[in-house]
Amino acid sequence: MTTIRNTLLTALVMLITASAVAQEKLAVFSDPHLLSSALVSNPGQSYFDDLAANNKMIDLGPQVMQALVDTLLAIHPTAVLVPGDLTKEGESRSHADMNGFLGQLREAGIKVFIIPGNHDVNNSNAVGYYGDYVRPENTLNSLRFAVRYADMGYNQALERDANSLSYLAEPIDGVWLIAVDDSRCKERDSDRSIDANGIPDVTLQWILAKADQGQALGKQVIMMMHHQLVEHFDDQDNLVGDATVVDAPNLQQQFIEHGIKMVLTGHMHFGNITTQFNDARTDSLVEITTGSTLTYPCQFRTIDVAPDRGTFSVNTCVLEHIEGIPDFQEYALNRFKNSTRPIVASLVYHSWDDLMAAINQYSDYFGEVNFTQEQATDAIYNAFHDDIERVMVAMAQGNEPTRDIQGLPGSIYNKVGTLVDELLPNLNFFARLIVVPMIRNQLESMIGKALDSILSDCNGYGTSLAHVTNDLTPTLRFAPIAQALLGDINLDGIVDVSDVNIIINIMLGKAQASNYTGISDLNGDGSVDVSDVNAVINIMLGK
C-alpha cells in the first residue's frame, strides 16, 4: 500500500509541476475611458462638444466594453492587465460599471490586474450630462479606488506599496508584475490640483527592491504603468505634451539595471512597441504601449508566455464588431479621420511658443502677427489635414513603413505656401517669395526629426541607438527563469533537509511560500502540510 501511495504521489507531483510551467496567455487592453450611460440623460450641446473635442468614441463605451469582454471570455487568458484610464474622468458611477464589466472576467476564472490612470482618481472634471446642463459627479479617492477594485489586483497582491496605489502580483507562475501608480493618486487625495505624473523616490526604491527580490527568486519581472516610460517617436514630448513619466531617462536606466525586461503602458491612445537600451547598449527593456479601446483601431493585445518564461509572443488584435455596428473597424476609421482637427489643435497648443518664435523671426517682412491659436489651428488644418490624417492612421495601424506613407514629407513641406496664404493673406508677392522658403525650412527643423522617426517607425533615428521594433507581433526573448528541481524549494540546486525545514516553517507561519521559487504545495491540495514534507523526503530518498 505504501508503494502504491508513493507512486501515486510522485505522479501527482509530476503533473502539478508540469502544469505550473505550462505556456500561459496574458491579455492587455488600455484606456477604455468608460462613461456610464446613467450619466448621459437626454444629451445636449455640452456632451456633443466634448465628443468633438477628441478622438475617443465615448458614446460607444459600454458597447465596446461588452464586446471586448465577450472576446476575452472566448480567448480565456490566464490574466488580463489594464494599465489605467478605466473611466472618462473618474466618475464613481463609471467605476461601478467598469467593475461590473471586469467582474464578468473574474466570474469566468480569469484574473484581472489594473492600475489607475491620470483620469481615474480625484478628478475634478468628473461630470454627468443632463440635457443642456452639466453636473459635477463624485469621483473616487485612492482608498476607495483600491476598495472598488479589490478583486482586480489589490487583494491579490503579494505586497502593496505603502506610499502609492502600486502593488506586486504574480499573474502567472514565474512572472512577477510590478503594477505602478505613476498618477500620484495618494498625493491627489489632499491636493487635487496636482496634474503632473511621476514616481516618488520612496516608491521608486520599493519598485527596485521588488525587482531585485524577483530576480533573486528566479522570477521574470515585468512592469505595468499608465504613462509611457519611453518616447515612441523622436521629439514626442515636445510635440504632443509630456506623455512620458517625469524623469523618464533616469528611470529607464534604473529599471534596466535592476532586470526589468518589459513595461506595459497606455495613455497615448496609439499602439506602439519600442526597445530602450542602456547607455552601453548591453541590455534593454521593451515597452508595449497599447492603444485606447475607444480610438481606432480599438486594439488589445495577447501575450503568450513560454513555459520557461523567457519568450513572450505578442499578438495585436482589434474589435471587429460591437452591438449595432457590424463593421466596426470601418466605422471607427471614419470617426478617427473626422477627428483630425482636435489632433491639430493639440499640436498647436503644445508647440505654440516654438511656432510663434519661428514666425516672429520674419516679422520684418510682414509686420506684427496677431492671429490666435484657434486661427492657427484652422490654417494648419486646412493646409495639412490630409497629410496629418495619413500620418495618424499609419501610426494607429502600427508598423508605419508598411502603410500609406509614400511621399508624405514632400507633400507636407510643399504645402507651406498654402499655410502662409491662410495665416498671412495680406502678404505681398515679393515678401511671399522670401517668407515661404524660410518657413518651410523652419517647419522641417521643428518636425523633421519626429516625422522621419514616425514614418520609418525608428526610434533614435540617425543615431547609434537607432532601432525598429515590430509594433504588432513581436516575439520577445529574455533570459529564461531558473527551473527548480522537484522539491528544491530554496532553489539551491539540491533537494535536502533545508527544503524540508522551509516547508515546516511555512506550516508554522514562520515563512511565506511566495518567498520561494520552488513549489512548496507539492500535492496541489491548496495547503502546505505534512503531506508535502513527506513528498520532499520521498524525493530525497529517490522514491
The conformation of residue 277, written as its DSSP 8-state character, comes to: E
Instruction: Give residue for cell 486646412.
Output: 382
The pair phi, psi for residue 370, each rounded to 5°, is -140, 25
55 pLDDT above the threshold of 90: no
Mean pLDDT of 490-517: 79
Q: What is the pLDDT of residue 521?
A: 75
Radius of gyration of the chain (CA): 27
Find out whether 27 and 302 touch, Cβ atoms under 8 Å: yes
| pLDDT one-digit tens code per residue, 140-156 | 999 999 999 999 999 99
- Of residues 482, 493, 64, 477, the one with CA closest to residue 300: 64
| pLDDT one-digit tens code per residue, 430-444 | 888 888 888 888 888
Query: Which residues belong to CATH 1.10.1330 in the chain?
Result: 2-7+483-540
Instruction: List the alpha helices (DSSP H) in 218-339.
Output: 236-240, 248-257, 328-337
10 pLDDT above the threshold of 50: no
| pLDDT one-digit tens code per residue, 259-288 | 999 999 999 999 999 999 988 889 999 999
Rounded CA separation 364/341 (Å): 31
3-state secondary structure of 149: coil
Confidence bin at 462 (pLDDT 50/70/90):
confident
Confidence bin at 113 (pLDDT 50/70/90):
very high
Residues near 348 by beta carbon (within 8 Å), at least 6 away in sequence: 355, 373, 376, 377, 380
| pLDDT one-digit tens code per residue, 156-172 | 999 999 999 999 999 99
Rounded CA separation 48/60 (Å): 13
Domain range 22-335, its CATH number among 3.40.449.10, 3.40.50.300, 3.40.50.620, 3.60.21.10: 3.60.21.10
298 pLDDT above the threshold of 80: yes
Q: What is the pLDDT of residue 524?
A: 66
**Mapped to the 3 state alphabet, what secondary structure does 384-439 carry?**
HHHHHHHHHHHHHHCCHHHCCCCCHHHHHHCCHHHHHHHHCCCCCHHHHHHHHHHH
Rounded CA separation 244/125 (Å): 22
Query: Which residues belong to CATH 3.60.21.10 in the chain?
Result: 22-335
Q: What is the pLDDT of residue 251?
A: 97
For residue 431, the cross-strand partners are: none
Rounded CA separation 481/205 (Å): 23
Confidence bin at 19 (pLDDT 50/70/90):
very low
* Burial class, 56, CB count within 10 angstroms (exposed 0-12 / middle 13-18 / buried 19+): buried
Does domain 2-7+483-540 bear CATH number 1.10.150? no
Residues near 194 by beta carbon (within 8 Å), at least 6 away in sequence: 184, 187, 188
